[in-house]
Amino acid sequence: MGTITTSDGTEIFYKDWGSGQPIVFSHGWPLSSDDWDTQMMFFVNHGYRVVAADRRGHGRSEQTSNGHDMDHYADDLAAVVTHLDLRDAIHVGHSTGGGEVAHYIARHGEDRVAKAVLISSVPPIMVQTDANPGGLPKSVFDDIQVQVATNRSAFYRDFAATAFYGFNRPGVEPIEAVIQNWWRQGMMGGAKAHYDGVVAFSQTDFTPDLQKISVPVLVMHGDDDQVVPYQNAGVLSVKLVQNGTLKIYPGFPHGMPATQADTINADLLAFFRS
């Protein structure tokens, strides 16, 4: 584990474990690299080098008041990749992290990239517009910002206990430790970063980014994702990349890397080895 300082003076925390081909994990909003612990332990034990950073304003990275947009997210990721001199890397992004991965590859090129994975990810664009009628109304994201600014702790607890992991579905037993771990990660980060990040993940149009990606891309999405509906996300994203494969998981929620880790890890391993 270590830190780097970006070109604009922001300190970014990262984990770097093991050796072998690098896998770089980008986490979702408003979490931290800890959300990837199950995947990182699985793949380090399968002979990979695993790297994950806390996005600026999240986790243990600096709670800077600015730079909470996809350009800065991608540039911070590039700074970590360059600092560690990662080559032939596989980039895996969950939710907002999927947007970060797509924007990083498009903005910084594929010279260091072997493959990419988008899990329950926000591309092509989440918000409803004339060009994206299937998106979610902007009012949904405006309300999230209000909750972050005024009621963050309770909002995070409720979000983790319901839609994020599908614990609000009939017959699904909530896992209290998973809920608490989500809340812990969220509250580690800064309210300003999380507030601004809502705009970054919901209003960024990743269509041009996806169209530039030529490395193999695996798009994974649960069909019961209540946070990023799969029909307007994974189904559309795979059509925009040049070499994409779509895998839809019946009944899986947004947070499936945690609650369905055995399935997700096995499918990731198969894709990495293919």
Task: Quick: pLDDT tens for 176-205.
Answer: 999 999 999 999 999 999 999 999 999 999
pTM score over 0.95: yes
pLDDT of residue 240: 98
Q: What is the mean pLDDT of the chain?
A: 98
What is the pLDDT averaged over residues 24-41? Answer: 98
Number of domains in the chain: 1
pLDDT of residue 154: 98
Burial 200-231 (b: 16+ CB within 10 A, else e): bbbbbbbbebbebbebbbbbbbbebbebbbbe
Catalytic residue among 75, 91, 225, 237: 225
Q: What is the pLDDT of residues 110-162, one digit of tens each?
A: 999 999 999 999 999 999 999 999 999 999 999 999 999 999 999 999 999 99
CA distances (Å), 167 to each of 29, 48, 104, 224, 258, in order?
18, 32, 32, 11, 13
- Answer yes or no: are the C-beta atoms of 77 and 11 closer than 8 Å: no
pLDDT of residue 255: 98
Residue range of the domain that includes 123: 2-273
Look at strands 89-94 and 22-26 and give their pairing: parallel
Q: What tokens were used for 216? A: 């193999």
Q: Which residues fall within 8 angstroms of residue 115, CB to CB, at 6 or more apart? A: 90, 91, 215, 216, 217, 218, 271, 272
Percent of the chain surpassing pLDDT 90: 100
Residue 1 predicted with pLDDT over 80 = no
Q: What tokens were used for 139? A: 């009012």
Q: How far apart are CA 212 and CA 183, in angstroms?
A: 35
Kindly report the number of other CB atoms within 10 A of residue 28's CB atom. 31
Matching residue, tokens 């499918």: 267
CA distances (Å), 83 to each of 73, 101, 182, in order?
15, 17, 29
* Residue 26: active-site member: no
Where helices occur in the chain by DSSP H, the ranges are 37-44, 70-83, 96-108, 138-150, 152-161, 176-188, 191-203, 207-212, 234-240, 256-259, 261-273
* Residue 61: active-site member: no
* Residue 139: active-site member: no
What is the pLDDT averaged over residues 226-234? Answer: 98
Q: What tokens were used for 244? A: 């994409």
**Where residue 58 sits, what CATH number does that domain have?**
3.40.50.1820
What is the pLDDT averaged over residues 240-254? Answer: 98
Q: What tokens were used for 96? A: 């907002």
The sheet carrying 113-119 orders its strands as 2-5, 11-17, 49-53, 22-26, 89-94, 113-119, 217-222, 244-249
Catalytic residue among 95, 120, 202, 237: 95
